[in-house]
Amino acid sequence: MKVKVAVAQYNISFHTHWKDYQEKVTAWVKEASEKDGKILLFPEYCSMEITSLFSKDVYSALNKQLEAMQSLLGDYLQLFQRLAVKFGCYIQAGTFPVQDQSGQYHNHAYLFMPDGQFDYQPKLQMTRFENEDWQIKSGDQLKVFNTDFGMMGINICYDCEFPLFARKQVEAGANLIIVPSCTDTLAGYYRVRIGCQARALENQCYVIQSPTVGDALWNQAVDINIGSAAVYTPIDKGFPDNGILKLGELNKPQWVYSEIDLDKIAEVRKNGQVFNFSDWPRQFDFLNSGE
């Protein structure tokens, strides 16, 4: 089954009215839809640009940003829900920090469906910034999502650097892992990129990564953003020799498009030069043989 994915290199903008933000997001989705994109991926924390709608006292203070954003969560959800239905596509809208009933914040990656339904994957591994500066807490659910194009999983940025998350998702049927990311150094971008490529290699699946790009110096949380959007593949016959199907120009706001063939995943796992996916359990046999 073939499907066209649209992976965003998304810049953080300053907005003065909700209408401005709505128009920007709508234009991005419309552009991808006109290019026949059916699975759209936005980056982690791209929702932080809505903090510009508040006063400078709020958007320049880490301890006030998350609280203020909660007043717009409903509008955010309705916007992407409406766009997914209108344009008949799946939209992973990046992430939004959500406050739970106990007052704790969690980083949620929402997936919006063409039929109006939506669900989310919480981030599981938190970075030092999230732990120490924002005090965002880890989620406790690892999900797979059933779509018209098969099962898919979401690894939020740092999560993709830990192999057992994606492994559990592919064992549950996911042939595509979606990675929204936000990194403020070239090293950070490469950590996530290498994690994505490793997950594609060991699971013989597709992995797509979407980063924030450019400067937003008015916001302490997402002031500097570095990365390239990409579509990564197994490294085997029928796929690119370097495992990179598409790679965007570093730090340029744009969509990166690619058609992926999900039927090729079953084929490479059955007839590939190597069997990373099926050989995975053998490593535990070796490791436990001396016990």
Query: What DSSP string runs through 204-269?
Result: T-EEEEEEEEEE-TT-SSSSEE----EEE--SSTTS-TTSEEEEPPTT--EEEEEEEETHHHHHHH
**Residue among 198, 147, 195 at smallest CA distance from 175:** 147
pLDDT digits (tens, 9 = 90+) for 27-82: 999 999 999 999 999 999 999 999 999 999 998 888 899 999 999 999 999 999 99
166-180 pLDDT, tens digit per residue, is 999 999 999 999 999
| Residue 126 CB neighbours (<10 A) | 21
Is it the case that residue 134 has pLDDT exceeding 80?
yes
Which residue, chain included where needed, has tokens 């965007």? 248
Full residue range of the structural domain in which residue 8 is found: 2-288
Cα–Cα distance, 1 to 205 (Å, whole number):
14
Query: In angstroms, rounded to a whole number, what is the distance separating the alpha carbons of residues 33 and 88?
Result: 8
Do the Cβ atoms of 199 and 243 come closer than 8 Å?
Answer: no
At 244, is the pLDDT very low, low, confident or very high (cuts 50, 70, 90)? very high
CATH at residue 268: 3.60.110.10
Neighbours of 212 (CB within 10 A): 30
| pLDDT for residue 290 | 61
Distances (CA, A) of 90 to 18, 157, 233: 23, 19, 20
CA dihedral 65, 66, 70, 73 (to 10 degrees): 100
- Tell the burial category of 182 from Cβ atoms under 10 Å away from its Cβ (0-12, 13-18, 19+): buried
The pTM is what? Answer: 0.96
